[in-house]
Amino acid sequence: MTCAEFQKVLPYIVDTGGNADEEAHLKSCPVCSDLVADLKYIAEQAKLLVPMVDPSPRVWAGIQSSLEREGLVRPAGTARFPTPVMPGRWASGYRLLGFAALLLIAIGLITYHRGSRPATTESTNISSPAPAKVKPAGVDEEDTKLLQQVSQHAPAMRATYEDNLKSVNQYIADAEQAVAQDPDSEEAHDHLISAYGQKAMLYQMALARSLE
């Protein structure tokens, strides 16, 4: 079997494996085996592309207004849903600064809020088993504080926030790597801004929950 013959049938056997002749060619031909390795590698990497980007709050606003217009829900019965409005089209640098500032403010407020909890809560905690201080993998120290806040106010949401924080931290790491590799890439910078924006949004949502 030649490379041309093998590559002609490749689309139909790449994921399932071929017959004896095709497998024999694959084993003996470095060109075709490298080609198959590349295609399988791309497919494997694609499976790891988890959804990372949330839709703009405009989407939810549009859904709500459409449902209200159609009379499917009452305006008064507007569902409570924390969708902080993100800033418009700032220049990239200002946006990044804005998100970073927002993140810092959110962290600061959460820390302040924790420090100003009523003494009764603290005394209740004394008799309780000490909470585990283990930092979950994939989150930093501030994230851990945030998760503790979420646990106190909305225990059911903790796992969701933890998953989201891990995902967004991974996204930030990937985007930082992309920026480091290609500092002139506007797209890489946009990914980084988007990643920080998502983290700021998570903090904002958690903060809104803890101040309720």
Partner 1 sequence: MAIDRAKRGDAESFAALYGLHKRRVYSLCLRMTGNTAEAEDLTQEAFLQLYRKIATFRGESAFSTWLHRLAVNVVLMHLRKKGLPEVSLEETLEPQQEDGPKKEIGARDNVLAGSIDRVNLERAIESLPPGYRIIFVLHDIEGYEHNEIAEMMGCSIGNSKSQLHKARMKLSNLLKLSRAEKASRR
What residues line the site for partner 1 (CB under 8 A)?
3, 7, 10-12, 14, 30-31, 34-35, 37-39, 41-43, 45-49, 51-56, 58-60, 62-63, 66-67, 72-74, 77-81, 171, 174-175, 177-178, 181-182, 187-188, 191
Estimate to the nearest angstrom the gap between the alpha carbon of 75 and the chain centroid.
Answer: 31
Q: State the Cα–Cα distance between residues 12 and 188, nearest whole angstrom.
A: 35
Q: State the Cα–Cα distance between residues 1 and 70, nearest whole angstrom.
A: 64
* Of 23 and 187, CB closest to partner 1: 187
Residue where the block lists tokens 């930092």: 135
Shortest Å distance, C-beta 74 to partner 1: 8
Residue 99 in tokens: 């998100």
Shortest Å distance, C-beta 145 to partner 1: 23
* Of 80 and 133, CB closest to partner 1: 80
- Supply the DSSP symbol for 156: G
* Of 141 and 184, CB closest to partner 1: 184
Residue 48 in tokens: 């790891």
* Of 43 and 211, CB closest to partner 1: 43
